[in-house]
Amino acid sequence: MNKYTLSSDSKLRSKDFVFGVATSSYQIEGGINEGGRTPSIWDTFCNVPGKVDNGDSGEIACDHYHLWKQDIEMIADLGVDAYRLSIAWPRILPQDGVVNPEGLKFYEQIIDECHARGLKVYVTLYHWDLPQYLEDKGGWLNRETAYKFAEYADVVSAHFGNKIDVYTTLNEPFVAGFLGYRWGEHAPGIVGEKEGYLASHHLMLGHGLAMPILRENAPESKHGVVFNATPSYPESEKDQAAANYCEAENFHWFIDPVLKGEYPSAVVEKRQAHMPMILEGDLEIMSAPVDYIGINYYSRSVARFNQHNEIETIKPEGAEYTYIGWEVYPQGLTDLLVRLNERYDNLPPLYITENGAACNDELRDGAVNDTQRVAYFQSHLEALDNAIKAGVRVDGYFAWSLMDNFEWAFGYKQRFGIVHVDYSTQQRTLKQSAIAYRNMLLERAEENK
């Protein structure tokens, strides 16, 4: 397929709908010891044997620290409207309270180059690279880190102001809180039920503390937060409560404080012994109004009660899976968006801030014919359009990811890029999925002339 096709009445054809590509700092930058940056928890974690496949790390990654200019040219050539990136906290504040002008300059030149090429800039402040000096004081288990995050948000937004078109406080607090501090699969590798809930409470508190600061410093920009959300389905009718609980714990726990000013009662009851200390006023801070919510969607989960009446998730037989082992389930995107719209009366406009697939790509004769990924994007764009037609307001869509990069605990083996990266030469090659994206966007631009 040379081009994703949009139906003649597709809402995605509108010139106001934002199409973009997304990346994050630790996954692409490299240059970990350059420009005054100090270590983040991911540098430390990657050095622990056995934590990351193949002993990989973000030390060099896509060398975007040096190749940023050509990468932005490549993004602009795709014909997208926007680029979603993240800022590495330890580049901006390499020591507690010390601002690094070189770090600010690095991002400033990227933002300027994007604007010069007509791209809007969506910046995430926290995509998991917490400065190690804060982890040494307890990281997200320490309430103080939420206040440190607000200080960091202040430094960035005071410097850039309205120049950043869209600010995101956190990317996927579920992953940062639960994979990092509950299950130990991500940095800093802490395992503990109480710890997971405490860290996630402090993450959301940090989000809430940052919101008024961002608004003050960048009154014309938009401000919000990004969640990963996996809709759950019951294996059979008797498992409906299991599926409901999975959604409550995996994403209502994070979104409800923002949109309802409370934690979901199902989780509070079931995890009573592990609830964090919630101070008076915390939920009020966390529920500061947001201009948008970003949703990262990849797949669904299927839940059931096992013989001990415990909830477990299963992998349905006969379903299609990507190389990373995630089920391809486009209907889940429609269902998820419709469910969110039904659950929250005050749902702000949404963006799909990430969607994509990790496939077993092969570069042959200078081309990557990533048919599974192409089909994945086509079906998910249709699923998104169906949700919009069903009444959900979604203002944009970002493909994850611009290019292959450091896929956290999976290292470089899992490739999510629409652009192939040869890590030995840093050569970038547009995969068929990128070409199809570009052709769709070219056609849309023609139509909207």
CB of 354 to ligand IFM, least distance (A): 5
Cα 120 to Cα 117: distance, rounded to the nearest angstrom: 9
Q: Which is nearer to ligand IFM, 27 or 200 (CB)?
A: 27
CB of 86 to ligand IFM, least distance (A): 9
Q: Which is nearer to ligand IFM, 113 or 407 (CB)?
A: 407
- Measured CA distances, 261 to 140, 180, 185, 257, 346 (Å): 21, 24, 29, 4, 12
- 400 binds ligand IFM per the rule CB under 6 A: yes
> 183 by DSSP, 3-state: which?
strand
Q: By CB under 6 A, name the one of 43, 135, 354, 385 that touches ligand IFM.
A: 354
- 168 binds ligand IFM per the rule CB under 6 A: no
Q: Which two tokens stand for residue 53?
A: 């496949």
Q: Using CB under 6 A, count the residues that bind ligand IFM.
A: 9
Q: By CB under 6 A, name the one of 43, 56, 113, 172 that touches ligand IFM.
A: 172
Cα 401 to Cα 176: distance, rounded to the nearest angstrom: 19
Cα 127 to Cα 405: distance, rounded to the nearest angstrom: 14
Our answer to whether residue 172 is catalytic in this structure is yes
CA dihedral for 430, 434, 439, 442, sign (positive or negative): negative
- Measured CA distances, 11 to 272, 330, 378 (Å): 44, 17, 15
Across the strands, what pairs with 407? none
Q: Which is nearer to ligand IFM, 61 or 198 (CB)?
A: 61
Of the residues 247, 249, 354, 382, only one is catalytic, namely 354
Cα 334 to Cα 332: distance, rounded to the nearest angstrom: 6
| 299: Cβ contacts below 8 Å, ≥ 6 apart | 230, 326, 327, 328, 329, 332
Q: Which is nearer to ligand IFM, 263 or 298 (CB)?
A: 298
CB of 415 to ligand IFM, least distance (A): 11
Q: By CB under 6 A, name the one of 40, 416, 432, 438 that touches ligand IFM.
A: 416
Parallel, antiparallel, or unpaired: how do β-strands 427-430 and 419-422 relate? antiparallel
Q: Which is nearer to ligand IFM, 178 or 263 (CB)?
A: 178
Our answer to whether residue 29 is catalytic in this structure is no
Cα 221 to Cα 201: distance, rounded to the nearest angstrom: 26
- 256 binds ligand IFM per the rule CB under 6 A: no
Of the residues 29, 172, 247, 249, only one is catalytic, namely 172
- 382 binds ligand IFM per the rule CB under 6 A: no
Q: By CB under 6 A, name the one of 124, 132, 230, 296 that touches ligand IFM.
A: 296
Cα 333 to Cα 135: distance, rounded to the nearest angstrom: 35
- 24 binds ligand IFM per the rule CB under 6 A: yes
Contacts to ligand IFM by CB under 6 A: 24, 27, 172, 228, 296, 354, 400, 407, 416
Residues with a known catalytic role = 172, 354
